[in-house]
Chains A and B, each alone.
Chain A
Amino acid sequence: MRIETAPVTDQALAEALQQRGDERAFRDLYARHTPRLFQVVLRVLGGSEHDAEDVVQETWIRATEKLDGFRWEAAFGTWLTGIGLNVARQLLRKRGRWVEMDDAPEPWRPPPNDGDRIDLERAIALLPAGYRTVLVLHDVEGYRHEEIGEMLGIAPGTSKSQLFNARRSLRLALEPAKGRTHEPA
């Protein structure tokens, strides 16, 4: 007879990490959550794997430092993603690629189109960082505007307007170039 054992919860692993500095517990947590975190961060950063790895490392460092303050009212993965987004945003801001979000549309031009369709991944990477972040969190990761607002420190309404502009820009980037020239979104 096969006996199923319940998987160790994120909370139990986090406690082992907190109380004993248990490396195995950390590696388990890392294995569970890093692939998803890495993919989100990679999209938000526009596809730079090197930057995404740096952000993931810094995210885990900050997460272990802040673990004491985490109340387990949200999922560990959501909390971790929030930290990762903040680290990624700091990196983008440092490079002058992050514009603080408000309801006004970000200045953006669709990429020059030579007639070939570009795929969705490429089109997302070409969006302004703010649009891209909200679009990834909402349409790809499935977060609600309230959650996005909490993670990014913005109002849910701002998240909605950002998503609206992001989708419109994305459609422009994806449509075939039928006489389209560079026009602002």
Chain B
Amino acid sequence: MSPHEMDDELTHDERTMFAALSREREPGRLLEERTVRALRERGVLHAPAGAGRRVLRFPAAWISGAVAAGIALFLGGLATGQYLGARHASEMVSAVQRQDAQTAALLVQQTGTAYVQALSRLSQVSDTTRGTNRQGGEVAQQMLRQAASEVVRINPNDPVASGILAVFDRAGAARTPAQRDSAGRQSVVWF
């Protein structure tokens, strides 16, 4: 092929077609980041100072206001917490106290029932065991007197308890010294 033969020129239409072709084209968006990363890994690139960080600058007045608002918010939260905590604690104490009173009343009821049942049982066996019967009776009286004392302590104007204690006092004064000594030797078993 001679140089003359190779010297063919583009036609006008062909030139127009070539001129219409795009000269630039954007690659995928990730290519730049991929390339930058590869160059960083090779130590060619160093990230610019502050890259990836945003430095925010605030005026002094804005900072003061923000600090004051923060303190107010903190103190408000603290006071609210204390109020709620105190209210909760007093409610807890009241509940415990209520629960204690209910428990004590239930205990009185249970032990009172047991006391009466024990006396009933004692009366059934009184014919065969005389000594034990007498001892049981004394214990029952002591318990009755102690119970009456406690009821008077709860309610000093309670007429029934006051009457029981008065009867015990009169009976005690009427005893002979020998009977009092005998009573002092009683071995009372407390449960």
Contact = CB atoms under 8 A, between A and B. Distances in A.
B40 to A, nearest CB: 8
Contacts of B27: 34-35, 38, 49, 52-53, 56
Nearest to B34: A57
Interface of B (DSSP majority class): loop
A120 B22 contact: no
A60 interface: yes
Nearest to A136: B21
Nearest to B32: A30
A23 B31 contact: no
A21 to B, nearest CB: 4
B87 interface: no
A17 B24 CA distance: 24
B42 interface: yes
Contact of B8 (A17, A39, A52, A167): A167
B38 A61 contact: yes
B18 A139 contact: yes
Interface string B48-78: 1001000000000000000000000000000
Most-contacted residue by chain A among B21, B28, B48 (CB, 10 A):
B21
B84 interface: no
Contact of B23 (A52, A65, A121, A141): A141
Contact of A140 (B18, B25, B46, B48): B18
Given A22-B46, A26-B45, A61-B42, A38 B26 contact: yes
A160 B22 contact: no
Given A20-B46, A35-B25, A42-B25, A139 B31 contact: no
B31 A53 contact: yes
B86 interface: no
A24 interface: yes
B129 interface: no
B32 A27 contact: yes
B6 interface: yes
A161 B23 CA distance: 24
A30 B36 CA distance: 10
A140 B24 contact: no
Contacts of A21: 43-46
Contacts of A34: 27, 31-32
B79 interface: no
Given A39-B23, A57-B38, 15 more contacts: A21-B46, A23-B51, A27-B32, A30-B35, A34-B27, A38-B24, A42-B25, A49-B27, A57-B35, A61-B35, A61-B39, A120-B21, A161-B6, A163-B6, A164-B1
Interface of A: 17, 20-24, 26-27, 30-31, 34-36, 38-39, 42, 49, 52-53, 56-57, 60-61, 64-65, 103, 120-121, 139-141, 160-161, 163-164, 167
24 contacts: A20-B46, A21-B43, A23-B36, A23-B48, A23-B51, A26-B36, A27-B36, A30-B35, A38-B27, A39-B23, A49-B27, A49-B28, A53-B27, A53-B28, A60-B39, A61-B38, A61-B42, A120-B17, A120-B21, A140-B21, A140-B23, A160-B6, A164-B5, A164-B6
